């Protein structure tokens, strides 16, 4: 059976989007996703995203397989790309401004903006160790500026879940971090029973952060939406940044807000269609 796909990227974090609305199960297996994501022998992507029928009153369901075949709870750049993909599928030229998407991290609401950007209500950050999850601290306490030994060095880390686990550490110069060496050691550290995404953050000013990321299941990527959200929350918790800031990733900037009114995190950024094809 031929499967049509569309390639999208959000600040260089790229995905293969598949119209899976006729079935509640992905039409591609995790093993097949690994091959599709291979940048030499496949299409090339950080993950494969499926647009499935909605559940519990939502418009659609999102599932994603990472480039290593694992399935994350959510993906911030991915859900922006999914919103653009859904608008294209519906043939409405992005006139529908709001989708309610069922994910493994709960219901996420992306909003298509007139300027082509996508604003996403990412929900409430989860801050207790049990919610991350991590054993770095007592289950019912927050993990803020806790020391963690990785690669023979002590890092002060703050942990946040945006429906998926994040470990954030603030550094003087993100460009100096050997991500390919340190990233896997964070991801697979024993204090993270479900592994973790890891963000290295350089505070340029209270409303401008630079970020590099090692994503769980994908490795080094050019952008991570949930990671940018988690990093701003960590910056607020450690009093390093304001509640509204630009987070500059290797692929470009995201606008992040942790609302003081409703305590929800909002992410705004692009979603660009690259090309379509058939498997």
Active-site positions read 75, 224
Backbone angles phi, psi at 205, to 5 degrees: -155, 175
- Whole-Å CA distances, 72 to 40, 119, 225, 279: 24, 21, 13, 24
Strands (DSSP E) found in the chain:
4-10, 13-19, 47-53, 60-66, 101-103, 106-112, 118-123, 146-150, 153-161, 165-170, 197-205, 208-215, 219-220, 244-249, 252-258, 265-269, 272-278
Decide if 11 contacts 272 (C-beta within 8 A).
Answer: no
Q: List the structure tokens of 209.
A: 């952060």
Q: List the structure tokens of 216.
A: 């769980």
Secondary element (H or E) of residue 227: helix 225-237
**What count of other Cβ atoms lies within 10 Å of the Cβ of residue 272?**
15
CA nearest to 97, candidates 77, 79, 119: 119
What is the C-alpha to C-alpha distance for residues 163 and 103, in angstroms, rounded to an integer?
A: 9
Query: In the beta sheet, which residues pair with residue 111?
Result: 98, 119
């Amino acid at each position: 059976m031929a499967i049509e796909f569309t390639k999208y990227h959000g600040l260089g974090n790229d995905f293969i989007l598949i119209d899976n609305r006729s079935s509640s199960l992905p039409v591609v297996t995790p093993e097949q996703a690994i091959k599709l994501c291979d940048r030499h022998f496949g299409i090339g992507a950080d993950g494969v995203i499926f647009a499935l029928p909605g559940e519990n009153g939502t418009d659609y369901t999102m599932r994603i397989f990472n480039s290593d075949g694992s399935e994350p709870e959510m993906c911030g750049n991915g859900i922006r790309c999914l919103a653009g993909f859904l608008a294209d599928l519906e043939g409405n030229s992005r006139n529908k401004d709001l989708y309610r998407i069922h994910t493994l991290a709960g219901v996420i609401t992306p909003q298509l903006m007139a300027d082509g950007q996508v604003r996403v209500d990412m929900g409430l950050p989860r801050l207790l160790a049990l919610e991350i999850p991590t054993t770095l601290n007592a289950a019912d306490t927050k993990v803020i500026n806790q020391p963690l030994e990785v690669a023979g060095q002590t890092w002060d880390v703050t942990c946040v879940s945006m429906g998926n686990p994040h470990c954030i550490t603030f550094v003087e110069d993100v460009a100096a971090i050997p991500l390919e060496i340190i990233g896997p050691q964070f991801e697979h550290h024993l204090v993270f029973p479900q592994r973790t995404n890891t963000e290295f953050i350089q505070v340029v000013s209270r409303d401008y952060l630079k970020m590099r990321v090692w994503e769980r299941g994908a490795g080094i990527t050019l952008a991570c939406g949930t990671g940018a959200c988690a990093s701003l929350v960590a910056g607020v918790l450690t009093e390093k940044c304001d509640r509204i800031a630009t987070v500059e990733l290797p692929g470009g900037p995201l606008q992040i807000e942790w609302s003081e009114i409703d305590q929800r995190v909002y992410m705004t950024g692009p979603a660009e269609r690259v090309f379509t094809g058939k498997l």
